[in-house]
Chains A and B, each alone.
Chain A
Amino acid sequence: MPNIDEVKKRLTDKFKGDITNIDQPVNNRLFVDIKKDKVKEISNEVIAMGGRYLVSVGYDRLAEEGVLGLIHTFSLDKDSIMMALRTSTPENEPIESITPDIPNAGWSEREYMDLLGMKFKNHPKPKRLIVADDWPADVYPLRKDVPWNLMPPPAENVAYELDKCPEGCTVVPVGPYHPTLHEPAHFSVFVDGETIKGADYRGFMTHRGIEKLCQTQLTYNEIPFVAERICGICGSVHATSYSQAVEQAAGLKISRRAEYIRTIMLEIERVHSHLLWLGIAGHLIGFDTVFMQSWRVREPIMWLGERLTGNRKTYGMIVVGGVRRDITPELKEDILNVINKIEEELLVVKNAVIGDTAIHKRTKGVGRITKEETIKWSLVGPVARARGVDIDARRDNPYAAYDEMKFDVPVFDDCDVWATVLVRIIETFEAIKIIRQCLDKMPNDGPVLTEYLDPLAPGKHGLTCVEAPRGEVVHYLITGKENSPERWRVRAPTYPNLQGVPLMLLNDQFADLPIIIGSIDPCFSCTDRVDVINIKSGEVQKMNRHELEEMSRKYKK
């Protein structure tokens, strides 16, 4: 098990001339500047050291240095190290793709082909990923010279070319609007009879341009509220992760009490999210009683959130430097009562779910992929833990007050949907345990908000992760001028997990599709946060209801 110095040594020994600089702003973060020719080799070396690929960050330095920056980030879970390999390339020079060895990097690299006009050598699937089908090919929206509110005219008759259907199969389109998905995304599923033989994904239909918006329009203090709205379920997670990234870049240490309150908010969110998921899972296998009952159990925690923060969801609690509201002794009592009641009721629901053979029938042996594939595709969260991969950002890269918490990380080797159900149920109990510990150990005084008065120096990097209910959230922040970030990259847990879905679907029944897609707890709008497009493929014409009805009738006849 190498520590951080050994990691540094191993890299410098092996790639002496290719590493220009190693930066270590805090204890467990490594920012390594490398030359662009060796990106692939060094990435593979990091993977060989036990690293797990997180996300790539591309950014525009054309005006300043005439280059496009690219950062690959990794996490060495066993050693609690997070690592970034920074490189850059002139506008027209291609860079070696790491996707052939690290399949999960596929989307990140495609993203920067679309958004920054980067070029990658040997990418296995260099197709359009993020921007709409009718987006002009030479406009790269994440470049600084493109205004944030640019709206190119829509084009007619353009469509994304989906993968070819294998011989003997029929295509079943799932989405963009489908009851399974809850949010717009398109799966083109190739079925042979009722068996799925493959799938292609075309998503990113709900871009809100949050990253571009925050980089150009908003200031550091406003972003947590927008970050929270990346996801409707795990909002605090994004706000915390962003705030931590800013704090890390600025070298700001927040008060211990604020860290404890953050931990409590995150765990409250986990309880509510897992109960929500359990309900949805029940609904997806057509078992609405589980749906209603687990949401009944969940409701008190929503009301608790309302009392703690003033809102059921999107708590608006976490800001850069701490939290907004304090937890008073009365509220402490309140939290304890609510979680005790939830624990009691959840135990009953858990026994009912675990003892139900009909649920076993629908979930056991479904969505099976092996542990090796899971590691290869860098899947995260309960999806990975249900497949024997023992990772949890709370334990591996402790943040907030998790270094003082005692909790178990459930890991199962069943490799199917049933194991994800178990993981999530057990994690809910663990979350309740953590909330109790927090309330117990929380320091009684201290400010909840630490102010940072100096202006933030530009060009500082921050890399943080937070374990969201559905996996691990990674935020990468580069500070900029004028009180707003130069680059802020968000990686929601659905981003890597969704890439593994076609693999899970393979050779399963079509009837299992909802629960398999549901088992990763997909959050498409988390994933689709990236750019400035509001236009859906060629279908934006202003028309009133009457015209629309007319059209739909004509089309069908």
Chain B
Amino acid sequence: MDILLIFVNIVIFLALAPLFEGVIRKLTAKVHSRQGPPVVQPYYDVLKLLGKENLVTGNLGFKMAPVIALASILTAIALIPLGFRENFLTQYADIITIIYLLTLGGVAILLGGLASRNTYGVIGASREMITMIMVEPVLAMSFIMGAVKTRSLGLDSTMYSTLGSGYSWSLALMLLVFIMALQAFVGRQPFDIAEAEQEIMEGAFIEYSGPNLGLFKLYKMLKQMFYAVLFVTIFMPFLKTGFFIADVAIQLVEVLVVIVLIAVLGSTNPRLRIDQAVKYFAVLIFLSLAAVGLSVYGI
């Protein structure tokens, strides 16, 4: 049964991530006063890209990068307890695993960008690296706070920390920080600096096309949904019914709320410059450190 849940995780994510992407696109279109594409458009996009001819312009790293990215995010997805039910793998993972797996995805983008030997790809990769370095601590802090509260590094206990200890000031601060960093986690405006189509033309992805690009697109959609689920599990654990299917359904509705938030934030902000973004992240890191500090004292 527990082993089956792993597949449930992966199937739900693979099936719904493009749908949430479609919701974001539709909402963005509404903000633009446009009709926008159909909600199912991202499915077509990915399918079409996967069916295209595979053009490889770089070395082995270039070919491997999308696979590594997708594999890392799928592994991370397989680990998390969706619907407050641990699966077979959750017990073997801890927060360090999850952070490393998420970083691995970013590293894969770096690899792809650098391996494509394109000036814009290299600029994109360097910006991706800076963003990663600055955002990673915020993500780590939000896990570490859970770890401090539950005195355990285990993935399940960390993710249930709010469920166990309830709301506190430190959690509220961390929630604020997480929302402020959300756009950077999912790589949307104002923090899509590494992709910036007007300046560096999708940055690290510039040389990608066909199935490889399709895999990267899928990776980005999955990552987006993953962070939304993470947000929901850590910060919005109320409404737990105890029935698995009902819990999953409730969580997905909450994820939809987060997705709406992402869409609205993304469509009402211009892109920041990398130097401005770094200053912004520095404040976030400081705040998240403060939140962890508070949680140590149980506030």
Q: Which of A283-304 contact B (CB under 8 A)?
A: 283-293, 296
B270-298: CB near A (< 8 Å → 1, else 0) gives 11111110000000000000000000000
Q: List, in ascending order, chain B residues with CB within 8 A of A425's CB.
A: none
Q: A194-B275, A509-B275, A512-B273 are in contact. Are A286 and B192 (CB under 8 A)?
A: yes
For residue A545, CB closer than 8 A to chain B, the reply is no
11 A-B pairs whose Cβ atoms sit less than 8 Å apart in the complex: A170-B119, A179-B201, A180-B199, A283-B198, A285-B270, A286-B190, A288-B267, A292-B31, A358-B272, A509-B273, A511-B273
> Can you list, as one digit per residue, whether each of B182-201 has a CB less than 8 Å from chain A (1) or not (0)?
00000001101100111101
In the complex, whether A347 has a CB less than 8 A from a CB of chain B is no
Name the residue of chain A whose CB is nearest to the CB of B29. Answer: A292
In the A-B complex, the 7 residue pairs with the smallest Cβ-Cβ separation, listed nearest first, are A286-B271, A292-B32, A287-B270, A556-B57, A285-B270, A511-B273, A514-B198
* A332: chain B residues within 8 A (beta carbon): none
B268 within 8 A of A: yes
Q: Beyond A362-B270, A510-B199, is A289–B32 a contact (Cβ under 8 Å)?
A: yes
| In the complex, B55 has a CB within 8 A of chain A | yes
| A residues near B201, Cβ cutoff 8 Å | 178-179
Rounded to whole angstroms, the CA-CA distance of A47 and B162 in the bound complex is: 74
What are the residues of chain A within 8 A of B168 when measuring CB–CB?
none
A338 at the binding interface (Cβ < 8 Å): no
8 Å CB interface, A488-521 against B:
509-514
Residues of chain A in range 253-286 having any CB-CB distance to chain B below 8 Å: 282-286
> Contact at B197–A179, with CB atoms within 8 Å?
yes
Report the separation of the CA atoms of residues A359 and B192 in the bound assembly, to the nearest whole angstrom: 16
Which A residues are in CB contact (< 8 Å) with B193? 511
Within 8 A of A (CB), among B34-69: 34, 55, 57
Residue from B28, B32, B207, B272 within 8 A of A361 (CB atoms):
B272
Interface 1/0 per residue, A375-398 and B, CB below 8 Å: 000000000000000000000000
Whole-angstrom distance between the Cβ of A193 and the nearest chain B Cβ: 9
| Interfacial chain B residues near A194, Cβ < 8 Å | 274-275
Is the C-beta of B107 less than 8 angstroms from some C-beta in chain A? no
Q: Is the CB of A510 within 8 A of B270?
A: no
Q: Does A354 contact B (CB under 8 A)?
A: no
Give chain B residues whose Cβ lies under 8 Å from the Cβ of A282. 270
Q: Which residues of A contact B207 (CB under 8 A)?
A: 556
Q: Which of B31, B190, B192, B273 contacts A289 (CB 8 A)?
A: B31
Is A406's beta carbon under 8 Å from chain B? no
Besides the contacts A179-B197, A286-B192, what 8 more A-B pairs have beta carbons closer than 8 Å?
A287-B271, A289-B32, A291-B32, A293-B33, A358-B270, A359-B270, A511-B273, A556-B57
In the complex, the chain B residue whose C-beta lies closest to that of A296 is B33
Interface of B toward A, CB cutoff 8 Å: 28, 31-34, 55, 57, 119-120, 123, 189-190, 192-193, 196-199, 201, 207, 267-276
- Find chain B residues with CB under 8 A from A289 CB: 31-32, 267-268
Question: What is the CA–CA distance of A2 and B89 in the complex, to the nearest angstrom?
Answer: 88
For A180, the chain B residues whose CB sits under 8 A away are 198-199
In the bound assembly, the distance between CA atoms of A228 and B193 in angstroms comes to 39
The answer to whether B273 and A172 have CB atoms under 8 Å apart is no
CA separation between A509 and B127, bound complex, in Å? 13
Binary flags per residue of A151-193, CB closer than 8 Å to B gives 1, else 0: 0000000000000000000111100001110000000000000
Chain A residue nearest to B190 in the complex (CB): A358
A287 and B272 alpha carbons, distance in the complex (Å): 10
The answer to whether A553 has its CB under 8 Å from any CB of chain B is yes
Closest Cβ–Cβ distance, residue A19 to chain B (whole Å): 51
Least Cβ–Cβ distance between B47 and chain A, in angstroms = 22
B32 & A179 in contact (Cβ 8 Å cutoff): no
Q: How far is the CA of A288 from the CA of B28 in the complex (A)?
A: 9
Contacts of B268 in A (CB 8 A): 289
Say yes or no for A557: interface residue by CB 8 A criterion.
yes
- What is the chain A residue whose CB lies nearest that of B202? A179
Assess A287 versus B55: contact at CB under 8 Å? Given A194-B274, A511-B274.
no
Beta-carbon contacts under 8 Å, A195-233 to B:
none
Bound Cα distance from A513 to B199, whole angstroms: 7
Q: Nearest Cβ distance between residue B182 and chain A, in whole angstroms?
A: 16
CB distance from A537 to the nearest CB of B (A): 19
Q: Give the CA-CA distance A249 to B239 in the complex, in Å.
A: 83
CB neighbors of B among A534-557 (8 A): 553, 556-557
| Docked pose: A172 CA to B123 CA in angstroms | 9
Distance between Cα atoms of A553 and B210 in the complex (Å): 14
Name the residue of chain A whose CB is nearest to the CB of B193: A511
With the chains together, A299 CA to B120 CA distance in Å? Answer: 35
Enumerate chain A residues within 8 angstroms of B55, measured Cβ to Cβ: 553
Among A171, A179, A512, residue most surrounded by chain B Cβ atoms (within 10 Å): A179
Whether the pair A172, B119 counts as a contact (CB closer than 8 A) is yes
CA–CA, A288 and B266, complex, Å = 10
Chain A residues whose C-beta falls within 8 Å of the C-beta of B199 in the assembled complex: 180, 510-511, 513-514
Please state if A358 and B269 are interface contacts (CB–CB under 8 Å). Answer: yes
In Å, the complex CA distance between A173 and B196 comes to 16
A70 to chain B, nearest CB (A): 40
In the complex, chain B residues whose CB is within 8 Å of the CB of A171:
119
Q: B274 to A557, Cβ gap below 8 A?
A: no
Contacts of A173 in B (CB 8 A): 119
Residues of A within 8 A of B31 (CB): 289, 292
A286: chain B residues at CB < 8 Å are 189-190, 192, 196, 198, 270-271
Chain A residues with Cβ below 8 Å from B275 are 194, 509
**A293 surroundings in chain B (CB, below 8 A):** 32-33
Complex CA–CA separation, A557 to B119 (angstroms): 16
CB distance from A312 to the nearest CB of B (A): 19
A556–B207 Cα gap in the complex (Å)? 10
Contact with B along A429-443 (1 / 0, CB 8 A): 000000000000000
Q: B34 touching A292 by the CB < 8 A rule?
A: yes
The answer for the CA separation of A290 and B33 in the assembled complex, in Å, is 11
Inter-chain contacts of B267 with A (CB < 8 A): 288-289
Q: Which residues of A contact B189 (CB under 8 A)?
A: 286-287
Residue of B28, B34, B272, B274 near A362 (CB, 8 A) is B272
Distance (Å) between the CB of A366 and the closest chain B CB?
Answer: 9
> How long is the Cα–Cα vector from A514 to B271 in the complex, in angstroms?
12
Taking a contact as CB atoms under 8 Å apart, the answer to whether A511 and B33 are in contact is no
- Residues on B with C-beta less than 8 A from A556 are 57, 207
Residues of B within 8 A of A513 (CB): 199
Q: Which residue of A lies closest to B272 (CB)?
A: A361
The CB with the most chain B CB atoms within 10 A, among A291, A292, A359, is that of A292
Residues of B within 8 A of A172 (CB): 119-120, 123
Contacts of A358 in B (CB 8 A): 190, 269-270, 272
A159 to B169, CA, bound (A): 64
A41 to chain B, nearest CB (A): 45
Interface residue from B57, B270, B271 paired with A557 (Cβ < 8 Å): B57
Q: Which B residue's beta carbon lies closest to that of A518?
A: B198
Query: How close is A224's CB to chain B, nearest CB, in angstroms?
Result: 35
B270–A179 touching, CB < 8 Å: no
A280, closest chain B residue (CB) = B198
Q: Is there contact, CB below 8 Å, between B273 and A362?
A: yes
Q: Nearest-CB distance from B186 to chain A (Å)?
A: 15
